[in-house]
Structure 1
Amino acid sequence: MRLTRRHPLLVAVLLCALAVLAARPTDGDGAHAPGHGSASGISAQVARLYEEAAAATEQYEAGRRKAEEQRAEVRRLEEELGRERRAMAGMHEDLGRIASSQYRSGGGLPLTAHMLLADDPEELMRSQRAVWQAELSLDKAIEKSARAEARIAREEARAAAAWKALKKRNAELATLKRNIERKLETARWKLQGQADASVTAGACRGAVRLDQPETRFTTSWVAPVETYALSASYGSGGALWANRHTGQDFAVPIGTPVRAVGAGKVVKVSCGGAFGIEIVLKHSGGYYTQYAHLASVAVDQGDRVSPGQWIGQSGTSGNSTGPHLHFEVRVTPEMGSAVNPVPWLAQRGVTL
């Protein structure tokens, strides 16, 4: 009878132990294990590829501009060479006219014979000296033009070779840029898949600390993302919100680093509901800013943040039709107290 009385208790203990073991993360758990499959691994990979893509784009654009400048130099040299050749052709025509004139006026006779036959030998000598000077000047001009043509031709050849080399390098940079962007796009949607899983579970994976490049902001306030296109604005209507839009949307790709607009404290990190993954910061003066529809967070509740610090990565979690950052300014931590963020930021020196 003692065994039968203790049996239910033993079963309950065993079930609890099994439940704890099942709930514990294993080494292969994607939520905690390092590597490309983990939340931290994908977030870091997206952040790294984001920076690499930006650098590759900058290199490509700089190379493209340089190639265009070099191509313009080739065209300039071609035009200059054309002018030199036209000038030489004109000189040759002048020389031909002088030779023809001499032939018609008896240029084949010796100068002594011309002097004997001439009515005014002194006038003849002056005329002959003018012809000699003209021929000498023409010979020098032709020689100078030929040297100039050779120089311009060499410069043109060098410029053309430089342009071709730049064009080849730009093609290589374009291929590198496409490869990085293709990897980035794949990683972005993998990151978004993890974000959607967190929202479905209603539980955040925790902060993923990102290696932010060194930045030196000279202002106390910045835009929440660096490069963007403004989409839905404050007060606009739409099918996705009950009354009016309560923030300003920034259309950005998944994984774009989201920045704290100013110094403050993290008062909320949430991973469920219509806003998906969201962060709320408290700033001086009693204002709060919200960053919603994120793909990951890089801060924990209670953290202090500085202007421009990466606090997460943009996404399309929650009630969202596409990748963007929903940004709000509030007078309380909760929704329903929003003010127009565009003039609010403008008052702090940030023009969107």
Structure 2
Amino acid sequence: MRSPRLCALLVPVLLCALVAVPTVRPTQTTDDGAGRREDGDSELSAQVVRLYEDAALATQRYEAGRQKAEMQRARVRRFEDLLARERREIAVLHEDLGRIARSQYRDGGGLPLTAQIILADDFNDLMRGQHVFSRTTVAVNNAVDKSRRAEARLAADEAKAMAVRRKLERRSAELAVLKHDIEQTLDEARWQLQGRADASVAAGACRGAVRLDQPPQSPAAAWVTPVAVYELSAGFGSGGSRWANAHTGQDFAVPIGTPVRAVGAGRVVKVSCGGPFGIEIVVEHPGGYYTQYAHLAAVTVDQGEAVVPGQWIGQSGTSGNSTGPHLHFEVRVTPETGSAVDPVPWLAARGVPLG
């Protein structure tokens, strides 16, 4: 039977041991409402950015290879044209030799030169004619030989050009396959990113900010476009069945996952996930203006954070009341809906024309 005293001593020892054991945390962190996000989300967002870069590089290499192959095809065609010309000239020269031979036969009647000398009325005229004929024959033969040498060189150059062309076209085909594979992987990652955004919007709760490696910022640029490469779609004031009134911003048609930039220096005053704008960010700028970035797939900043011009603050998507992947961009005089002004002249006045 255990003594009461021993039990009394074991209780505090066990409690101390439990306190000393470290808490085991999962490998993926969850959003705690303070802007921290699951590691998987950050990895996915970063993967989309990397794939964008890989796809752009693959496209650039493919286009360069395709242009080289096209230039080589043009070179082969030039060699083919030159060869055809040389062969036509050789045929003409052969015809000239034939005419000379036929003329000699007609003039000499097919007689040997000795018989022609015996029968000739004027020996000097005969010898002059023979001399001219010999020189003409030699000249034509030399021209034929020169053309044949040129033909041989052109044929060798054509063969080399054809070999280079086939090599370039094989490389272009390989680059096309690589480009397609990267774009397919990128497309899958985009929609996976959008799926997580849709889940956040449905829950009405943001998953927190992902952290991406920021590109180098240009210190000279006070204002920039909200996306680097884009096509303009619905403009400010335009009508549409999906809006209760006129369109309140400028839409930029860009694929899901495109990095979205702060157009100028400011402070993030709102990060929201829900409602018609889906995932949205509002930034306050000096001078009393606010910019809104909506229908995002991910955010890379937290509310209250300071931003600089060109800083990536999110990734575009098609969350909320959206017909397809794009960035909805607004300029407002208050942080709330209903105070928007036309963003196109607003940006143009700050040295950022859209087009």
TM-score bracket relative to the smaller structure: 0.7 to 0.9
- Select between 193-202 and 61-70 the one with higher mean Cα deviation: 193-202
Q: Is the Cα contact below 8 Å between 1:115 and 1:121 reproduced in 2?
A: yes
Match of 1:186 among 185, 188, 192: 188
Q: Is the counterpart of residue 350 in structure 1 residue 353 in structure 2? A: yes
Is 1:311 the counterpart of 2:333 in the alignment? no
In structure 2, do the counterparts of structure 1 residues 204 and 72 end up closer, same or farther at CA, with 3 Å as the change threshold? same
Q: 2:45 aligns with which of 18, 43, 46?
A: 43
SS of the counterpart of 1:182?
Answer: helix
Give the counterpart letter for 1:232 in structure 2: A
Structure 1, 208-217 or 74-83: larger mean CA deviation = 208-217
Distance in 2, Cα, partners of 1:123 & 1:208: 103
Indicate whether 1:124 and 2:126 are aligned.
Answer: yes
Residue among 330, 334, 337 paired with 1:335: 337
C-alpha spacing 1:299/1:29, structure 2 compared with 1 (3 Å) = closer
Q: 1:322 to 1:346 in 2, by over 3 A?
A: same
Match of 2:295 among 277, 286, 293: 293
Structure 2 stretches lacking a partner, 5+ long: 1-23, 32-36
SS at match of 1:149: helix
Counterpart for residue 243 of structure 1: 245
1:254 aligns to what?
256
What is the aligned partner in structure 2 of residue 165 from structure 1?
167
Structure 1 residues 263 and 147: CA distance shift in structure 2, 3 A: farther
How many Å apart are 1:282 and its aligned residue?
A: 2.8
2:78 is matched with 76
Letter in 2 for 1:262: G
Using the size of structure 1 for normalisation, the TM-score is 0.85
CA distance in 2, matches of 1:131, 1:298: 91
- Aligned in 2, Cα 1:319/1:146: closer, same or farther, shift over 3 Å? same
Distance 1:221 1:350 in 2: 10
Deviations 1:324-352 (A, max 9, x none): 11011222222222122223233324232
Residue 103 of structure 1 and its aligned partner are, at CA, apart by: 1.4
Relative distance call for 1:167 and 1:217 in structure 2 (3 A) is farther
Change in Cα spacing, 1:219 to 1:80, as seen in structure 2 (3 Å) is farther
Using the alignment, how far apart are the partners of 2:119 and 2:181 within structure 1? 88
**1:170-215 C-alpha deviation (Å, 9 max, x unpaired):** 1111111111111111111111111122222322222212124446
Residue 20 of structure 1 aligns with which residue? none
Q: Determine the C-alpha separation between the residues in 1 that align with 2:87 and 2:48.
A: 58
Secondary structure at the aligned position of 1:90 is classed as helix
**Conservation of the 8 A alpha-carbon contact between 2:300 and 2:313:** yes
Q: Report the Cα offset of residue 95 of structure 1.
A: 0.8
Instruction: After superposing the two structures, state which structure 1 stretch, 194-203 or 79-88, moved more.
Output: 194-203
Aligned to 2:58: 56
The alpha carbon displacement at 1:265 in A equals 2.9
Figure out how many residues of one structure are paired with residues of the other and give that number.
326
Deviates more, 1:189-198 or 1:25-34: 25-34
* Structure 1 residues 265-296: Cα deviation after superposition (integer angstroms, max 9, x where no partner): 32322222211111122334433221110001
User: What amino acid is the match of 1:237?
Assistant: G
Deviation at 1:47, TM superposition (A): 1.0
| Change in CA separation of 1:130 and 1:289 when aligned onto 2, cut-off 3 Å | farther
Which region of structure 1 is more displaced relative to structure 2, 184-193 or 222-231? Answer: 222-231
Deviations 1:6-39 (A, max 9, x none): xxxxxxxxxxxxxxxxxx98445565443xxx21
2:14 maps to what in 1?
none
Structure 1 runs not aligned, ≥5 long: 1-23
What CA RMSD, in Å, does the superposition of the two structures yield over aligned residues? Answer: 2.3
Task: Report deviation, 1:59.
Answer: 1.2
Q: Is the 8 A contact 1:255 1:295 kept in 2?
A: yes
Distance in 1 (alpha carbons) for counterparts of 2:25 and 2:296: 24
How far did 1:235 drift?
0.7
| 8 A contact 2:248–2:330 mirrored in 1 | yes
Counterpart residue identity of residue 191, structure 1 = L
Task: Supply the distance in 1 between the matched residues of 2:339 and 2:112 (Cα, whole angstroms).
Answer: 110
CA, structure 1 residues 33+304, in 2 after alignment: closer, same or farther (shift >3 Å)? closer
Separation (CA, whole Å) in 1 of partners of 2:127 and 2:217: 83
Instruction: Tell me the amino acid that sits aligned with residue 51 of structure 1.
Output: E
- The answer to whether 1:153 aligns with 2:152 is no
Compare 239-248 and 220-229 and name the one that shifted more. Answer: 220-229
Shift of 1:154: 1.1
Pairwise CA distance, 1:245: 0.1
- Superposition TM-score, scaled by structure 2 size: 0.84
